[in-house]
Amino acid sequence: MKPRIDKLFWILGPCVLALAGCASVHQETLNSYTNNFSAVYTQAQDLYLRSEIVAEGIADRPETEGSVTSKLKDLEARKAAFQTRLAALDIIGKYNTVISNLAAGESPENLKGQITQFQQGLISFDVTPITKLAQSATPFLGVLSQGVALVEDAIKRNKLRAAINQAQKPVSAILDILAEDAGSLEDILVPELKRQQDPYRSQVDSLSRRLNARIKELKSTSEIEALLEKASAARRSMNRDGDKPILHRPSANATDPTPSDLDALVLLVGQVEMSAIEFKKLEAQVQAQYVLLNTYKNTLSAAKRAFIALASNVEASRIVATRDFIKQTLELRKATLQLQEAK
């Protein structure tokens, strides 16, 4: 038996009014959040995959302690840790797709073919004839059919809001863990670059020691002082903590430098300069890596703020948080390009 239309109006009317008053998640804000999250996802994947390659290399290093079995066991646990992170990112990505679909008005039934009890209740009212009737000139029927559409829309929006509210804690906590990981990733990726720098760093030090020992045997001249300044400048350009200039302290038995002494010193200083240049090339990568990881961490914080703001009823705060997230994502892309350029 179909209910009378006027009765239906009084049943649905308050529901429509109540649900229409619910704050909605702005589609544009949600799209900005999900699109920018994709950029974070890609960057995070890249950082974790690069770190996994380092983990594999560590297992083969002679200085790594432990038996072959224990090294393999450690490597398996570390690889599993990377897989968990990639899976967590993937899960947030899938979750973002679901909330985007809900926000776009895609019915939950279309997503999984299941319906809510409330919607089943609505179907029992047999809304199709009402919609057809709404095309007639009867004014309140038009209002009623719009009301039914509003109720259906509100159900979707309520699901969306519930999905966002419920996911706040776990999504925020995942983003916090990924931010903590950024510190670990720095301690994995930066030492890897420093290992490549080490031969040039120790070469500069070794050549400087030879230079220091050689000039002790020679009396001070303007050529020697100029060469020392060149060597010290090369060392300073490496921007190392605690760097000290090479001071000329001739011994009591020091002699006047011969042309061949000066030639040998020119050669040594030239080698110091060359090694310092190689060191600095890699230092550009180290600094770009620091910037990238710092920006990545800031972007994760911005992503968290943008996600929390999605559930906010204040549109202005959603817009501010999303803009901040977009800005951080652009910074992240810039830092990625800078690292690629430094290579």
Partner 1 sequence: MTERTPVELLKETIAKLEELSADVETEDAVALEANKQITVLRTKLQEAALDSMVSRTPALEKLSLAITTITNSAVHAGIGDKVASLAAIMDEVHGLLDLAKRGPKTL
Site for partner 1 in 171-200 (CB under 8 A): 171, 173-174, 177, 180-181, 183-188, 191-192, 194-195, 198
CB of 274 to partner 1, least distance (A): 17
When binding is defined by CB under 8 A, the residue of 88, 264, 274, 330 that contacts partner 1 is: 88
Within 13 A of 142's CA, how many CA atoms are on the CB side? 5
Comparison of 47 and 141: residue with beta carbon closer to partner 1: 47
Question: With contact defined as beta carbons under 8 Å apart, do 209 and 244 qualify?
Answer: no
| Residue from 20, 54, 179, 326 in contact with partner 1 (CB under 8 A) | 54
CB of 157 to partner 1, least distance (A): 12
Instruction: Answer yes or no: are the C-beta atoms of 267 and 283 closer than 8 Å.
Output: no
Which span sits near partner 1 by CB under 8 A: 92-100, 252-260, 265-273, 303-311? 92-100
Gap between the Cα atoms of 289 and 191, Å rounded? 11
* Contact call for residue 117 and partner 1 (CB under 8 A): yes
Q: How far is the CB of 266 from partner 1 (least distance, A)?
A: 18
Residues 283/200, Cβ–Cβ less than 8 Å: no
Site for partner 1 in 6-35 (CB under 8 A): none
Number of residues that bind partner 1 (CB under 8 A): 71
Q: Exposed, middle or buried, 116 (CB in 10 Å: 0-12/13-18/19+)?
A: middle
Shorter beta-carbon distance to partner 1: residue 107 or 145: 107
Instruction: Map the footprint of partner 1 across residues 205-224, applying CB under 8 A.
Output: 205-206, 208-209, 211-212
What residues have CB less than 8 Å from 214, skipping those under 6 apart? 261, 264, 265, 268
> In which residue are the tokens 């501010």 written?
320
Q: Which residues contact 211 (CB under 8 A, 6 or more apart)?
A: 228, 231, 246, 265, 268, 269, 272
For the CB of residue 174, give the shortest distance to partner 1 in the complex, in Å.
Answer: 5
Residues in the chain: 343
Site residues for partner 1, 237-256, by CB under 8 A, read 240-244, 246
Q: Closest Cα partner for 272 from 205, 218, 198?
A: 205
With beta carbons less than 8 A apart as the criterion, state whether 324 and 31 touch. no
With CB under 8 A as the contact rule, which of the stretches 30-38, 168-176, 258-266, 316-324 interacts with partner 1? 168-176
* Residue nearer to partner 1 on the CB measure, 2 or 249: 249
**Calpha distance 24→312 (Å, rounded):** 9
Instruction: Measure CA 311 to chain center.
Output: 22
98 binds partner 1, rule: CB under 8 A: yes
Q: Residue for token digits 């914080």? A: 301
Q: Which of 85, 157, 297, 304 binds partner 1 (CB under 8 A)?
A: 85
Select 110 or 136, whichever has its Cβ closest to partner 1.
Answer: 110
Q: Of 3 and 170, which has the nearer Cβ to partner 1?
A: 170
| List 14, 21, 67, 169, residue binding partner 1 (CB under 8 A) | 169
Our finding on whether 91 is near partner 1 (CB under 8 A) is yes
Complex with partner 1: residue 2 or 209, whichever CB lies closer:
209
How far apart (Å, rounded) are the C-alpha atoms in residues 209 and 115? 78
Give the binding range for partner 1 (CB under 8 A) out of 14-22, 47-55, 123-131, 253-261.
Answer: 47-55
CA angle 66-72-74, nearest 5°?
Answer: 75
